[in-house]
Amino acid sequence: MAEFLLPAASRPQPGKTFKAPDGAKRIKAFKIYRWDPEVGGNPRLDTYEIELDACGPMVLDALIKIKNEVDSTLTFRRSCREGVCGSCSMNIDGSNTLACTMYISDVPGEVRIYPLPHMDVIKDLVPDLTHIFAQYQSIEPWLKTETPPPERERPQSPASAPSSTGSGMHPLLLLLDRLSQLLVERDRYLGPAILLQAYRWIVDSRDESTGERLDQLEDPFRLYRCHTIMNCTKPAPRVSIRRRRSPRSRS
């Protein structure tokens, strides 16, 4: 049986403990991954005791409370707080999810929070997205045409619009599909989020580079290295990636 061990310098060590205020009744412990590149050394797990009666219901509410009232050095991303942008994607209680949609009450016992796995960490809970956006740029996510531009916008009929508007970049797929690349060559396989966005432009009735886009994807690694681990369907079950021919003939 294969055994995988983390490098010694990457194993989290016990960190600081921040106690709840005196008199707090409903207390929940949050163990949060901490690592500062300016300090170096091993990451640590800091423990924060939060009074639930003075905190919102979501894990993100607790993180914001910790940041604002307990430890201002804690670093994480957040934005919309509505499960749309994907900024607060992280590993909570062993699952890759969004802190803004995860109820504290859904986690039994202490809440263990780590950055997304299999991604480089910039600081604390902030993953490095450089590789993801480089892959995103590689599929040229913009309208490509050869005909002269019209005087106004390029029209699209209501009948053809749903085929493209329903295939946008799903934020959960973008930030949570990294586990689907665990068994493949991460630098060459695009992953479900980027493939979904590539499909969005292939089926856009206004785009005139269908053949070129399909040829760019016709690669043993970029498209055909999915091992059907199905992690992409867990965070975004309504989004499915299917290999299909474009409704328009290849140029």
Task: Give, in order, the Cα–Cα distances in Å from 20 to each of 17, 28, 66, 109, 242.
Answer: 10, 9, 11, 16, 49
How far apart are the C-alpha atoms of 68 and 98, rounded to whole Å?
20
Instruction: Note the pLDDT of residue 164.
Output: 46
- Reduced to 3 states (helix: H, G, I; strand: E, B; else coil), residue 201 is helix
User: Looking at residue 176, what is its pLDDT?
Assistant: 55
- Reported residue count of the chain is 251
pLDDT digits (tens, 9 = 90+) for 130-175: 888 888 899 999 999 999 988 888 888 877 765 544 555 555 555 5
What sign for the dihedral angle of Cα 207, 213, 215, 218? negative
Q: Three-state SS string across 86-155, please?
A: CCCEEEECCEEEECCCCEHHHCCCCEEEECCCCCCEEECCEECCHHHHHHHHHCCCCCCCCCCCCCCCCC
- What does the block give as tokens for 60? 């993100």
- The answer, as to whether pTM is greater than 0.85, is no
Whole-number pLDDT of residue 197: 85
Nearest CA to 173 out of 124, 205, 140, 135 is that of 135
Q: Which residue has the tokens 């590993």?
A: 91
**SS3 at position 84:** coil
Q: CB count, 10 Å around CB of 182?
A: 12
Question: Containing H/E element for 200?
Answer: helix 191-202
**Predicted pLDDT of residue 170:** 57
Tokens 């690349």 found at: 181
> How confident is the model at residue 241, as a pLDDT?
39
Sign of CA dihedral 103, 107, 109, 113: negative
Parts of the chain with a pLDDT under 50: 164-165, 180-183, 237-251
